[in-house]
Amino acid sequence: MKRILVVASYAPSLRNFRGALIDALLHHGHAVHVAAPDLTTDPALRVWLEERGVICHDVPLARTG
């Protein structure tokens, strides 16, 4: 089992653009971690991730310069 970290600068993009990737990684038995700013401000997204067993990390990132 590998540990995979998916980093995003915009938390909703984890589900919108990386959801299929995350599901595929989990399906193949990998431990998936995600890191993005403001994960705690979107409870629905966090629940979606945690229900799948994804480990969430709220990190400070600036989307622009």
pLDDT tens across the length of the chain (65 residues): 899 999 998 999 999 999 999 999 999 999 999 999 988 888 999 999 999 999 999 999 876 76
Q: Is position 54 within any domain?
A: yes
Domain carrying residue 47: 3-58
Q: Is position 49 within any domain?
A: yes
- How far apart CA 56 and CA 58 sit, in angstroms, is 7
Residue whose C-alpha is closest to residue 60's, from 33, 34, 37, 35 = 37
Q: Is position 63 within any domain?
A: no
Q: Is position 8 within any domain?
A: yes
Residue whose C-alpha is closest to residue 42's, from 20, 13, 62 = 13
Tokens of 26: 């989990």
Q: Is position 64 within any domain?
A: no
Q: How many domains does the chain have?
A: 1
